[in-house]
Amino acid sequence: SIMSKKLACGADAIVIDIKVGHGAFMKTLEDAEELAQTMIGIGSKMNRKVIAVITSMSEPLGYAVGNALEVKEAIDTLKGNGPEDLTKLCLELGSHMLVLGKVAKNYDEGVNILKGLIKSGKAFDKFVEFVQAQGGDPKVVNQTDLLPNAKYSYAYKSKETGYINDLNALDIGLASVKLGAGRETKESKIDFGAGIVLKKKIGDQVNKGDTLAMLYSNNDTTFARATEFMDLAYQMSQEKPLEKPLILKTVM
């Protein structure tokens, strides 16, 4: 379905971000590579240029998890104030697209073009155009406090001192579902203001009692269930873990 949608809309060049890790459908690099080759093969048969970038989803991308919270973070990124990992991924995928579209001669030139568009404000302006074209209210883009907000918040704190050794993206996602940011059943109503903002991620040093994440919901009874998954997500160690790469492989 991924390729069929892109082919149906008339794209002649396609860049695919294939996630692998705790929070992804593909759990191993080998499976992700197999999927990448399948996607590229489909594109080749349809005379489409395809690049697949395999990226890590062992911990959440960025800091925000949840509908309105992620929109705010995306807007910050378009303004040049986004998280380092999210910004890096956007530049990675976008630069490949510029090369395939013959806007840039090579990857490095593509990155520089994108950085220039962010710095000049043109990237953000284009997003505003997208919102207007789809009948959205552009005021919300400029005033993100107009987006849905949660009535209640809860500071999830560290139970020990050490380093964040692992941050399971799947468990974080399940915690956000418990808060109302996703559906547990098809009848569930989504709370668009609910979600999680991470304060500490893999490699960060923390003391007992430090806030690891802020949880948000319009139902304060959800925090107890959500924190059970937060306990599973955060794993500590006494030594700083090795830095894990975000971009694992590019398949062309």
| pLDDT at residue 175 in the model | 98
Whole-model pTM: value is 0.92
| DSSP 8-state assignment for residue 26 | B
Task: Please report the pLDDT score of residue 190 as a whole number.
Answer: 96
Asked whether residue 4 carries a pLDDT value surpassing 90, the answer given is: no
Q: Considering only CA atoms, give the Rg of the chain.
A: 19
Q: Which candidate, 230, 173, 165, 235, places its Cα nearest to that of 204? A: 165
In the predicted structure, residue 123 carries a pLDDT above the cut 90: yes
Q: Tell me the mean pLDDT in the region 143-161.
A: 96
205-206 vs 234-237, strand pairing mode:
unpaired
Residues 18-75 have pLDDT tens digits of 999 988 889 999 999 999 999 999 999 999 999 999 999 989 999 999 999 999 999 9
Helices marked H in 101-191: 107-120, 122-133, 138-142, 169-179
Mean pLDDT of 225-251: 96
Q: What is the set of domains in the chain, with CATH numbers?
A: 148-237 (3.90.1170.30)
